[in-house]
Amino acid sequence: MAGYIGSVPVPQATETRDVYTATSNQTSFTTGGYTPNFVSVYLNGVHLAQADYTATNGSDVVLASGATADDTVEIVSFGTFKVADVLPISGGTMTGDLIIPDGDLVLGSTAVTATAAEINLIKGATARGTTAVADGDGFLTNDGGTMRMTKVDTLATYMGTKITGGSLVFIASTGAISNAASVQFRAQDGHFDETKYDHYQFWLQNVIPATDAVSLIAQTSTNDGGAYSTTNGDYHNTDGADDSIGIQLSNLSLGSAANEFGINGMFNLFAPHNDAAYTSGLGTTVSGASNGNYYARNVGGTRLAAENVDAIRFIMSSGNIESGEIVMYGIANGT
């Protein structure tokens, strides 16, 4: 910057100076260019007020009153300058608050619309609440330094694979049964998985038949539920009789009256994937009979074939299942 001895001061400004000798009554003077409102005009050394001239088009300065011949007109225009406290466009460090109006921060072509409350949740600056988590809810996770959104359903499945060493893992539920011919659990639905589970456990809750004097039985399949073993003699039950169409889970006279609450209890299925041995099951149930009595008993039996069982269904010996619920758990194999 001209006019200084030694170091140039900061901030720096530039100026352009045009000097004219006026003709008689001359009003218009063409400059080398200026920024409107950044112009000073001098007439014979006297600084003119802005009301004494017009400088709006970036080129011409027009005096309000014509100059006298040989008057000296000096026009000084100032260029832009760099303030020391400006963040450079190529980078830099900033201190203090940067306030950007909502929707005005754009990454690529995507406007960032997160509220302060949402940002505080992400960085952990907000107290934890008690909002219930439901299927389908989003879950933010750090994937090797990249933030990704997944669902709590996916997280639950993953956590289930990490629970090992004999732990009981929820797999599925029938929900409320309503007049169903049978209910089934199958590998194709993710219910049987020998890479995760050694054994399985089924909890029976108020499983009521649609008709009187029947029993609840379990039948196995080796083709993912395409067909079940149903021939009399396919199974041994706890009494050793080789005469059953399924593994017996209740007394032989389940009742369906209003004050008879069906069968309740637990049934274990042992290593159904082991095709070098028979598949067996054992449990304990309490069931209401059609005579109004309740019976507690050990139940179970064996499929008389060494095969890989990948599906099981629960069915009444006759008629439908009127109501109830069956929940399936897996015994994690520790891998």
- pLDDT digits over 208-267, tens only? 999 988 999 999 999 999 999 999 989 998 766 667 899 989 877 787 887 788 899 999
List the single range of 126-130, 151-155, 210-214, 313-317 with lowest mean pLDDT.
Answer: 126-130
Residue 11 has pLDDT above 60, yes or no: no
User: pLDDT at position 1, please?
Assistant: 46
User: pLDDT at position 6, please?
Assistant: 56
Residue 159 has pLDDT above 50, yes or no: yes
List the single range of 158-167, 190-199, 209-218, 265-274 with lowest mean pLDDT.
Answer: 158-167
Looking at every residue in the chain, the average pLDDT score rounds to 85
Q: Within 13 Å, how many C-alpha atoms sit on residue 320's CB side? A: 9
CA distance 140 to 122: 8
User: pLDDT at position 244, please?
Assistant: 81
97 pLDDT band, cuts 50/70/90, is confident
Q: Note the residue count of the chain.
A: 335
User: pLDDT at position 148, please?
Assistant: 84
Segment 74-83, tens digit of pLDDT: 999 987 655 5
| Highest-confidence segment of 46-50, 112-116, 120-124, 287-291 | 46-50
The pair of structure tokens assigned to 19 is 């000097």
For 210-277, strand residue ranges (E) read 216-221, 235-237, 247-248, 263-270
Residue 4 has pLDDT above 90, yes or no: no
CA-based Rg of the chain, rounded to a whole angstrom?
Answer: 44
Its pTM stands at 0.56
The pair of structure tokens assigned to 195 is 């890479």
| Highest-confidence segment of 9-18, 64-73, 142-151, 231-240 | 64-73
CA distance 153 to 49: 74
- Domain spans of the chain, in order of start: 15-78, 106-153, 168-332
User: pLDDT at position 10, please?
Assistant: 53
129 or 78, higher pLDDT: 78
Residue 85 has pLDDT above 70, yes or no: no
Q: What share of the chain is helix, strand, coil (3-state, %, to 5)?
A: 5, 40, 50
User: pLDDT at position 163, please?
Assistant: 61
List the single range of 19-33, 207-221, 236-250, 298-312 with lowest mean pLDDT.
Answer: 236-250
Percent of the chain with pLDDT over 90: 49
Please compute the mean of the pLDDT values over residues 85-95 and round it to a whole number. Answer: 72
Q: Within 13 Å, how many C-alpha atoms sit on residue 223's CB side? A: 4
- Taking alpha carbons only, the member of 11, 30, 9, 22 closest to residue 77 is 30
